[in-house]
Amino acid sequence: MSTLKTNNIQHVDRSEPSILINTDGSVNIAGTMTYEDVTSVDAVGIITGRDNLDAQKQIHVGTGVSIKAGGLNVTAGITTLVDVSSRNITGAATTLSGDLTVNSQVYIASNIRHVGDTDTFISFPANNEIELKVADQQAIKFTTNSIETGDNKRIDIINANAERSGVIANADSGANSLTIGADPDNSGSSSQLTFAVDGTTRARIIDNGRFGIGLANPTSALDISGGVDNTVLQIRSDDAGAFMAAYDNGGASQFGHSGANLVLSCDPAGSVSSSAIVFQVDSNSEKMRIDSSGRLLLGTTSSRGNYGNNASGVDYKMQIEGTSATTSSMALVRNSNDANDGGLILGKTRATSVGGNTAVVAGDDLGTLSFVGSDGSTLQFGADIGAKVEGGVGNDDMPASIFFKTNAGSTSTAERMRLDSAGRLLLRSGTNGSNDLAGGFHNALQVEGTSATSASIAIIRNSAAENPPYLNFGKSRGTSIGSNTAVQNGDNLGIISFNGSDGSGSFGSYASIYGQVDGSPGNSDHPGALLFYTTPDNGVSPQLRMKINNQGYVTKPNMPAFLVYATGMGNKTFGQDHSNTNFDINYLEQLPVWGQQSISRTIVHNQGAHLTAHNYTTSGGSDGAYVKFTAPVTGYYLFYITASPAKSTVGDWWGFGLKVNFTSNNGNGDLDYYISSVNQAVNASEEKSMSGQTIAYLNKDDYVIPYARSCHRVTLTDRIVFGGHMLF
C-alpha cells in the first residue's frame, strides 16, 4: 500500500484546484464527482460538493453524516437521497438550497420551521399529534380524534377568484362557539351555505338567513320539505314531554306531546291576559278560536253572553255565529254500512266534580235544546226541547220524558207538550205526567188546557181537490205491532168517547160513538155499523141509543115509543046524551075505551115506560085506568089512533085526538091535536073506519092524553089502537 501526499488536485484545463484536501481532513470538490459503482465510502471529514454530488447508484456513509458548524451547503441541490432511514443528520444548522426529494421518510424530532419566519412552524407536540402554529400561536392541530384551531382562529375556503367563499371559525375566545359561514366578506350575491349528503344537497341557508331542508328556495325562516315522506319533522325528548315554542314581542305559545296527549298551549307562562288559540285559513282569515275561558268560538272573535234578560255574563262554552245557513249551522253525519246513526249527547249527573257519576233523581232536567232570538238587546228564549227524569231511577233504569216549551210573549217559556216515559203524548201545560184517566185509562195522546184554543184539536187540509183531511181508526186481531189479523163480527173498530170529571179525579164516559163490524168480514168485504151511546141520569155506563147498520137502517133501541090496543068493546055511552050536536060540540071526555073494565088491554111495547096509567072517574061514574104519555125529552113526537070498525048514533058524530097537559073530564074546549073523526051516521048500522096520526112538539115532561070530542054513543065492534114514538 502506498500514499499520495498533496494538498490539492487541479484539472489541466482549470485555473483552480478541482480537489482541495484541507488540514482538518475535509475535502472540497469543485464540479461534479461521479462514482460509477461505489458501494462503500468511509469518511471522517466533510464532503463538500460545490456544484452537484452525483451518485449514479448509492452513496454509503458508514456511521452517518456529521455536519459541523457552518452547516451543509448544497449550491446546486441534492438530486437524490436514497435510503437514509435510521440515519441522523446532526450538527450545526444546515441550509439546503434547491429541491429536496425524499423517496422514503423524513423523521423530525421536534418541528419544521420557516427559514425567514421562525415563529411559524409545524410541530409534533405529542404522539399522534401535528400542530401548525402561526406567530407562535396554535392555528390548527390534528389528533387522532379531532382537528383543532386556536382561539379566534378560522378556516377560510377560497374560491377560484381568490375570494373567501366560506369560513369555519371559533368566533369568541371567551366562549365555546363555532361559526360556519358562506361568503363572509359579502363579496358575492345570493350566497348559500349548503349541506350535502351522497352528492345531493339536503339543506341550505340562503343569503336572507332562511334555512331550507329538502328544498332550494326556502320561503320562511325554517322551511322543510319531506319529499315523499309524510312525517316531515319529529321532535323527541327523553322526558315526559316534548314541546316546540314560538315567541313574539307580546308572549309565547307552544305545542307538543306529553304522555298520551297532544298539547297545544297559548301563553303557557300565564304572562298575557285574554290569550286565545286562534285557527286561521284562507289568507289568515280567522275561523275558530278557544278563548282564555276555554270557550270554543266559531265565526266570532268574542264570546256572547246576552241570553235571556242578561246583558252579559251568560257565556256558553261553545258558540257558532255566522250570516248564512252554512256559516251558522252544524251538521252531524255518519257514514256506515249499517243501521246505526250519529248523535248529539246531552248528559247530567248530580256529582260535584268533573268525571263524577252520582245518580240523578226524579224531576232533574237531563238536557235542553233552546231556540233564542234577539229582541234588540238580548237573546230571548223562544222555545225549548228538553228531557226530564221521571220517578224510579235505578241501576240500568232511567225513566224520562221529553218536554216542549214555547214563549207566549214574555221573557220565559212554558211547557206545551210532553212525551212521557210510557210513550204517551201529553198536549198540556205544566204537567208532570199522565194523571187524568179520561175514558178510564191513561191515554197515549192527551190534550189539556183552560180554553177552547188550548184544549182543541184541528185537522185542516189545503188542496185544490175535493179530498178532505182524515182522522183514521184502525183495528186488527193481531197481537204485535205491525200485525194484520182479520177482525170479526161484533169487533169494535174505534170509539169516540165523551168524558167528564165527576170531581173525584176520574173522568167518566157520558156518551160514545162506536164503529163496529156488522157482519162477517172478508177480503174486500167490510160490513160496518155506527152505534151511538149515552149514559142515563144516575148511571155510569153508556147505553146504546141508536144504530145505523151496514144497510143504512137506523134503529133506536131506547127511543121513546109505545103501542097499546084494546079489544072486546061494545057500545060505549058517554056521560051525557048529546043528541043536539050544536049544543055539545065542545064537550071533551077522555077516550072512554081505556076506562072500560070489561075490555082486554094489551101493551105491545112501551120503550122507556113513558106510557103510564092515569086513573079517572068517568062521567058515567065508573073508575078506570086511562093512558097518558109523558115526553122524556123535548122534541117532535108522532102519535096515531086507529079504531075499526066504529058506528055512531044516527045523526051524531065524534072525533078523537090529544090534549096536552090537560086532565079535566066533561069539560068544554077543543082538542090540541086532531087525529081522526067519524062523520054523522046515515043509518044505525053504518060502520066506518077511524084512523089518523099527528105530530106534536112536546117539551120535556109534557104529557098527552087521548080525548074524544062531541060524541053521544059509539060502537067499537073490534078494537082501538093507540101508539106513538119520538121523531127527533
Residue with cell 178532505: 468
More confident residue, 433 or 15: 15
- The confidence score (pLDDT) of residue 181 equals 81
- Evaluated on CA atoms 257, 261, 266, 272, the torsion sign reads negative
**Alpha-carbon span 727 to 634, nearest angstrom:** 11
What burial letters (b/e) apply to 242-278, b meaning 16+ CB within 10 Å?
Answer: eeeeeeeeebbbbebeeeeeeeebbbeeeeeeebbbb
**Alpha-carbon span 250 to 272, nearest angstrom:** 8
Over residues 188-207, mean pLDDT: 87
Degrees, nearest 5: CA angle 257-262-263:
85
Q: Tell the burial category of 533 from Cβ atoms under 10 Å away from its Cβ (0-12, 13-18, 19+).
A: buried
Maximum pairwise Cα distance, the chain: 231
Q: Tell the burial category of 595 from Cβ atoms under 10 Å away from its Cβ (0-12, 13-18, 19+).
A: buried
Tell me, rounded to whole angstroms, the distance of Cα 560 from its chain centroid: 66
3-state SS of 538-576? CCCCCEEEEEECCCCCEECCCCCEEEEEEECCCEEECCC
Q: What is the pLDDT of residues 138-172, one digit of tens each?
A: 888 889 888 877 777 778 788 877 777 787 776 66
Q: Does residue 556 contact residue 532 with C-beta atoms inside 8 Å? A: no
**Does pLDDT of 512 surpass 90?**
yes
561-726 architecture in CATH? Sandwich (2.60)
Pairing between strand 425-427 and 445-447? parallel
More confident residue, 52 or 626: 626
Summary mean pLDDT of the chain:
80
**Does pLDDT of 596 surpass 50?**
yes
85 band by pLDDT with thresholds 50, 70 and 90: very low
- The confidence score (pLDDT) of residue 715 equals 66
**Does pLDDT of 276 surpass 80?**
yes
Sheet (strand 252-258) strand order:
241-247, 252-258, 261-266
Degrees, nearest 5: CA angle 386-392-397:
75
- The confidence score (pLDDT) of residue 374 equals 92
- The confidence score (pLDDT) of residue 592 equals 63
Q: What is the pLDDT of residues 682-711, one digit of tens each?
A: 676 667 777 899 999 999 999 999 887 766
Tell me, rounded to whole angstroms, the distance of Cα 65 from its chain centroid: 102
Q: For the chain, where do the domains classified as CATH 2.60.120.40 start and end? A: 561-726
Pairing between strand 32-35 and 47-49? unpaired
Grid coordinates of 681: 051516521
The SS3 assignment for 589 reads strand
**Alpha-carbon span 101 to 111, nearest angstrom:** 19
Tell me, rounded to whole angstroms, the distance of Cα 492 from its chain centroid: 45
Give the DSSP per-residue string, 415-450: EEEEE-TTS-EEESSS--S---EETSS--SEEE--S
